[in-house]
Amino acid sequence: MLNSGNSMKTPVPFRIITVILALLSCLLLSGEDGYRLWLRYDVVCDTGMLRKYNSALKQVMVEGHSGALDAVREELQNGLSGMLGKEIPFESKTLTEGTLLIGTPVSSERIAALPVKDLLKKTGPEGFILKSCVISDMHCIVIAANTDIGLLYGTFHFLRLLQTGQQIGNLDRVCIPSTQFRLLNHWDNLNRTVERGYAGFSLWDWPLLPDYVSPRIKDYARANASVGINGTVLTNVNANALVLTPQYLEKTAALADVFRPYGIKVYLTARFSAPVETGGLPTADPLDPLVIEWWQKKADEIYRLIPDFGGFLVKANSEGQPGPQNYGRSHADGANMLARVLAPHGGIVMWRAFVYDSNVPEDRAKQAYNEFKPLDGHFSANVFLQVKNGPVDFQPREPFHPLFGSMPGTPLMMEFQLTQEYLGQGTHLVYLAPLFKECLQADTYAKGKGSEVASIIDGTLEKHGITGMAGVANTGTDRNWCGHPFAQSNWYAFGRLAWDLTLSADSIAEEWLRMTFTDNEAFIIPVKQMMMDSREYAVQYMTPLGLHHIMARDHHHGPGPWVSEGRPDWTSVYYHRADTAGIGFDRTATGSNALSQYFPEVEHQLENPGFCPESLLLWFHHVPWDYRMTSGRTLWEELCYRYYDGVDSVKKMQQTWKSMEGMIDRERFEHVKAMLSIQVKEAIWWRDACVLYFQTFSRRPIPEGLEKPAHSLEYYKNIPTP
């Protein structure tokens, strides 16, 4: 066993070789396929920094034994040897200068002896302390927490400091997550297709489970833990009852075993009709004693196999899914029945608020509120109502959902969509953190000014026992996990935000770029700007000025403003309402009055087209084509300019990216370059199709100086569905 002292000093020639290797690897920009995500751990390129890190880190002492601590050791071994270019000793029992000391007061006497007790009272089960300390005259860095999982989060935080080139000389941090339940929602089917997935097939290899668990599953867990994600719903909300059968539960348990050391719990979607479909009962009525007994036994069976099972996510009575209303019961009846069977095991229910009914002639944007507001206060304590960020459906821009602030008696869980169903899917570079932040920072006025959506999600505004945030996952079997190389940033950003709601979109982008590509400022500054602007660009070339849901039918990829047949609230004409007088959905008192679902201050801000932000104008108002915009242009002209600006901006992104050649590896450079050229083509497709279509109502020319569309409207309408 290695001990302290000189034996651990790196010999001088080795250090020189290390620095040369570091420089070479930075220059060669060796091939990358994106598999390593943001956990690349390549040698630190800044040699000054590398020297500092090397002198501050002489050995690591991880005190205690558990699966999570094995994960801590393994991650540090890989991370530090990769970034520092040398092996760091882990085995010593003697504290020396430059020790990274990791432990809980229970696993480590040294930690217990430090004056961190009061701090640890604040950090809870997942938080941690990261601190530079002098112990027995020796300079050390300490990661302390109440649990081993807290130590794992602290470890990833520490590694991130090195990955992003930060000082580690004088650390004094206490980190506590903003929300308790930070979950990915996979819309993965048991046949391995992924609903709205654009990165290959499902990561869960059901046919081979439980006997074979791909090593990829552990890497998935590492990636999630590195950003603080602590739960994963494995299956689609459009659920298949089969996953609750013994055969699939065993498979699920095999995944849970790999996730456990990384602090990740598994959850499943519960198909409400499962007692009928797989249990042979005549009904799934949530008040029927036999149904309750069936779920009780099912819960017991699940917890026998997976003692830390997280709970159920349920989509009920929405888009054809069964639910309590099939039996004349309410959403609360359904959710509470499941909550009661999970409660003794510590499980939770996430009941989705995404409901709307084609038989009800009501603005779809109003239906979730109408349905759930009267049920406020009627849900059990271990039930979340899971609410999408906006009232329609993950559009490029939506106002915040009116349920935020309107359900003070119910814990609300945020649902964001990381997979870009309505934002260019697999081919568009769209960084979503600005969209997430826009919603989180919106003021609901629920308890007066300053009642931001974020304060409802993190529980500071209304005190609930549980808080949480969910992201519809964008992962798949593609070698680089997410398809588009930049789509990884949306997974990353979701996790980082769920952990810390106060982080800015800008700082998250910067971290991700440094970890994923390079810390070269000449790359970071322009590419970060490009990421920050990318969502607004997508809004411009797809749905400017508050337009929404005008995507092609079913697949939602390209433009389809002409879609008019079938169920009305699945058509585009329902949402844009263009006619020869104007365009937009009147949601004021003269129209659907969806605005009345917001608190009066918000309603007043939005009810007058003259004061309503132009970014949401056509969401709330039907506006005449000659309406004067703040630019002095008419609405029609402004609409055209926005579409054209959107395309020009994507072309600028393309130029910016091209000028990055040589700064990163060729493989990912070429991949993104090719994607951007597709994005330019598709942005033009969006622009021309929409401008030509809306022109049939406005009957006005495309403003002078704007290039004319290359094809006719008929041409765009006939582009076949991919």
Residue 196 engages ligand GCW in binding (rule: CB under 6 A): yes
Distance CA 384, CA 313 (A): 9
From 175, 237, 249, 266, residue interacting with ligand GCW (rule: CB under 6 A): 237
Choose between 554 and 661: whose C-beta lies nearer to ligand GCW.
554
Choose between 3 and 370: whose C-beta lies nearer to ligand GCW.
370
Residue 201, amino acid: F
Q: What is the dihedral of CA 120, 121, 126, 132, to 10 degrees?
A: -20
Shortest Å distance, C-beta 142 to ligand GCW: 44
Choose between 238 and 370: whose C-beta lies nearer to ligand GCW.
238
Residue 682 among the catalytic residues? no
Question: By CB under 6 A, what part of segment 453-512 binds ligand GCW?
Answer: none
Choose between 128 and 384: whose C-beta lies nearer to ligand GCW.
384
Catalytic residue among 148, 421, 458, 682: 421
Contact indicator for 452, 444 with CB cutoff of 8 Å: yes
Shortest Å distance, C-beta 558 to ligand GCW: 15
- Cα separations (Å) of 519 from 26, 83, 254? 10, 13, 38
Catalytic residue among 393, 519, 569, 665: 393
Shortest Å distance, C-beta 234 to ligand GCW: 14
Structure tokens at 396: 């490029």
Distance CA 9, CA 82 (A): 17
Instruction: Compute the chain's Rg from CA coordinates.
Output: 27
Shortest Å distance, C-beta 415 to ligand GCW: 8
- Cα separations (Å) of 570 from 318, 389, 392, 543, 561? 13, 19, 11, 16, 11
Shortest Å distance, C-beta 563 to ligand GCW: 14
Choose between 196 and 642: whose C-beta lies nearer to ligand GCW.
196
Residue 393 engages ligand GCW in binding (rule: CB under 6 A): yes
From 77, 132, 214, 238, residue interacting with ligand GCW (rule: CB under 6 A): 238
From 156, 259, 351, 354, residue interacting with ligand GCW (rule: CB under 6 A): 354
Q: Within a 13 Å sphere around the CA of 645, how many CA atoms are in the beta-carbon half?
A: 15
Question: By CB under 6 A, what part of segment 66-125 binds ligand GCW?
Answer: none
Choose between 46 and 195: whose C-beta lies nearer to ligand GCW.
195
Shortest Å distance, C-beta 422 to ligand GCW: 8
Name which of 421, 426, 337, 330 is nearest 370 in CA terms: 330
In the 8-state DSSP scheme, what is residue 447?
T
Q: Within a 13 Å sphere around the CA of 67, how many CA atoms are in the beta-carbon half?
A: 12
Q: What are phi and psi of 362, to 5 degrees?
A: -125, 145
Choose between 195 and 250: whose C-beta lies nearer to ligand GCW.
195
Residue 28, H or E segment: helix 12-28
> What's the burial of 136, exposed, middle or buried (CB within 10 Å: 0-12/13-18/19+)?
exposed
Residue 551 engages ligand GCW in binding (rule: CB under 6 A): no
In the 8-state DSSP scheme, what is residue 469?
E
- Residue 317, sorted as left (phi over 0), alpha (psi -120 to 50) or beta, turns out to be left
Name which of 122, 117, 90 is nearest 105 in CA terms: 117
Residue 32 Cα to chain centre, angstroms: 24
Choose between 394 and 512: whose C-beta lies nearer to ligand GCW.
394
Contact indicator for 452, 462 with CB cutoff of 8 Å: no
Question: By CB under 6 A, what part of segment 298-317 binds ligand GCW?
Answer: 315
Residue 393 among the catalytic residues? yes
Choose between 354 and 523: whose C-beta lies nearer to ligand GCW.
354
Shortest Å distance, C-beta 68 to ligand GCW: 33
Structure tokens at 563: 């879609």
Residue 209 engages ligand GCW in binding (rule: CB under 6 A): no
Shortest Å distance, C-beta 352 to ligand GCW: 7
Residue 331 engages ligand GCW in binding (rule: CB under 6 A): no
Place of tokens 């951007």: 676
| # binding residues, ligand GCW (CB under 6 A) | 10
Residue 300 among the catalytic residues? no
Residue 144, amino acid: A
Name which of 386, 420, 421 is nearest 404 in CA terms: 386
Residue 134, H or E segment: strand 128-135
Choose between 184 and 237: whose C-beta lies nearer to ligand GCW.
237
Question: Helices 521-542 & 433-440, crossing angle to 10 degrees?
Answer: 70
Contact indicator for 267, 310 with CB cutoff of 8 Å: yes
**DSSP-based three-state secondary structure for 494:** helix
Distance CA 54, CA 445 (A): 51
Q: What is the DSSP string of 586-632?
A: --STTTT-GGGGS-HHHHHHHHSTTTS-GGGHHHH--EETTPBPTTS
Shortest Å distance, C-beta 10 to ligand GCW: 53
Shortest Å distance, C-beta 394 to ligand GCW: 6
**CA end-to-end span of the chain, whole Å?**
61
Residue 191 Cα to chain centre, angstroms: 24
Shortest Å distance, C-beta 116 to ligand GCW: 44
Shortest-Cβ-distance residue relative to ligand GCW? 393
Catalytic residue among 33, 172, 300, 319: 319
Choose between 319 and 565: whose C-beta lies nearer to ligand GCW.
319
| Other CB atoms within 10 A of residue 673 CB | 14
Question: By CB under 6 A, what part of segment 129-188 binds ligand GCW?
Answer: 187
Active site residues: 319, 393, 421
- The residue ranges that bind ligand GCW (CB under 6 A) are 187, 195-196, 237-238, 315, 319, 354, 393-394
